[in-house]
Amino acid sequence: MKNLKTCIGTLAAGLLLAVGVSHAAINERNFKLALVVDKGTAQYDGVEKFASLVKEKSGGKLNVKLFPGGTLGGDLQVLSSLQGGTIEMTLTNASLLQGLSKPMAVYDLPFLFNTAKEADAIVDGPIGQKLLAPLPEKGVVGLAYWELGFRQVHNSKHPINKVEDFAGLKIRVIQTPIYIDFMNTMGANAVPLPFPEVYTALETKTVDGATNPTITMVVQKFYEVQKYLSLTNHMYNPQLLMISKKTWDKLNDEEKKVIQDAANEARDYQRQVSRKKAAESLEELKKHVTVNEVAPAEIARMREKAQPVIDKYSKEVGEDLVKEINAALEKMRAAK
């Protein structure tokens, strides 16, 4: 019995030592994490959870400071700073990385995903990981895909019930070619703007409307300067939590593991929060603006109208990649 107790004690001491060694291998480090949205969004809740997990898993040695609301610049400015190493981390729309790797634009193909579950399967699987592979050569490392969610259309002029209702509307879009082409093809006038400028542009009537998930519309209080929300689900936006390659290369294996594990754990949490808040925010918006669901037949007409854009960008991102994604989606849908 004495020998057994001695063995157990030795084992326990060894485990404690192992934990100590793990934390001992971690250096004191501080990271800046920039994002364009404010508190109250699922993105902010996610990065807040991520920062907490990083601190916990590192024994308090790794600290992530959050800079929300575009305080360190718009998405493209922050991305440039990430490449330069002056900002260590960010969370942004995955498709904004198409300037670094063209295939990332595949996520913006109109009407690609029918459900968030479909999107999860693609981005978390081999296809999503394959798309991350070229990024380190461009100065950034993708840690985990989170979500912004499905985009809807809101404006101050009239409801959008059919394709023809887009005609003449000035709609703010993300600063990427596919968003511009899609909205112009729908018959609207696309106006690319950095996200921090959107509220003022809506308020001053520089633009009539924009496309956003319902959560964003509530948190940014766009409903104060908008009258109509039309549920189109025309694009699903995966977001990507990233770290500067210059920062990543300075980390040892233990530090990298802490950050990667925290990114994955926070991803699952953020998605749950995002989907819960999407439902809640829709109910809140119904108190402030006129909400309409676009009929399936009209969604089909919009998809048909968007086909030239889908064809054009399928060639640019790689037709084989698009075929691979569509094949995987068809397999999932057939299995239902």
CA geometry: angle 94, 150, 48, nearest 5 deg: 60
Please say whether the beta carbons of 39 and 215 come within 8 A. Answer: no
Residue with tokens 């496309």: 211
- Give the sign of the dihedral formed by CA 249, CA 252, CA 255, CA 261: positive
pLDDT at 22: 65
Query: If DSSP codes are grouped into helix, strand and coil, which group holds residue 124?
Result: helix
Alpha-carbon separation of residue 236 from 80, 195, 299, 309, 313 (angstroms): 24, 17, 15, 16, 16
Q: pLDDT tens digits for 130-153?
A: 999 999 999 999 999 999 999 999
Cα-Cα end-to-end distance for the chain: 57
R_g over Cα of the chain? 22
168 touches 189 (CB < 8 A): yes
Query: 118 exposed, middle or buried (CB, 10 Å; 0-12, 13-18, 19+)?
Result: middle
Please say whether the structural domain 28-334 has been given the CATH code 3.40.190.170. yes
For residue 211, list its beta bridge partners: 153
Number of H helices, E strands in the chain: 12, 11
> Each residue's pLDDT tens digit in the chain (336 positions)?
445 444 444 444 444 434 443 688 999 999 999 999 888 889 999 999 999 999 999 999 999 999 999 999 988 899 999 999 999 999 998 988 988 999 999 998 999 999 999 999 999 999 999 999 999 999 999 999 999 999 999 999 999 999 999 999 999 998 888 999 999 999 999 999 988 899 999 999 999 999 999 988 998 999 999 999 999 999 998 999 999 999 999 999 999 999 999 999 999 999 999 999 999 999 999 999 999 999 999 999 999 999 999 999 999 999 999 999 999 999 999 987
CA separation, residue 276 to residues 63, 171, 215, 329 (Å): 28, 27, 10, 24
- Give the amino acid at 243: I
Return the ∠ at Cα 272 (arms to 267 and 273), rounded to 5°.
95
User: pLDDT tens, 39-74?
Assistant: 888 999 999 999 999 999 999 999 999 999 999 998
Pairing mode, strands 152-155 and 189-192: unpaired
Residue 91, CA atoms < 13 Å, CB-side half-sphere: 33
Instruction: Name which of 152, 151, 147 is nearest 118 in CA terms.
Output: 147
* CA dihedral for 308, 121, 131, 251, sign (positive or negative): positive
Q: Are 182 and 109 in contact (CB under 8 A)?
A: no
pLDDT of residue 38: 86
CA nearest neighbour of 309 among 179, 221, 191? 179
Query: Helix crossing, 116-124 with 319-334: angle to 10°?
Result: 130
What is the pTM (predicted TM-score) of this model? 0.84
Question: Closest Cα to residue 33, out of 80, 67, 79?
Answer: 67
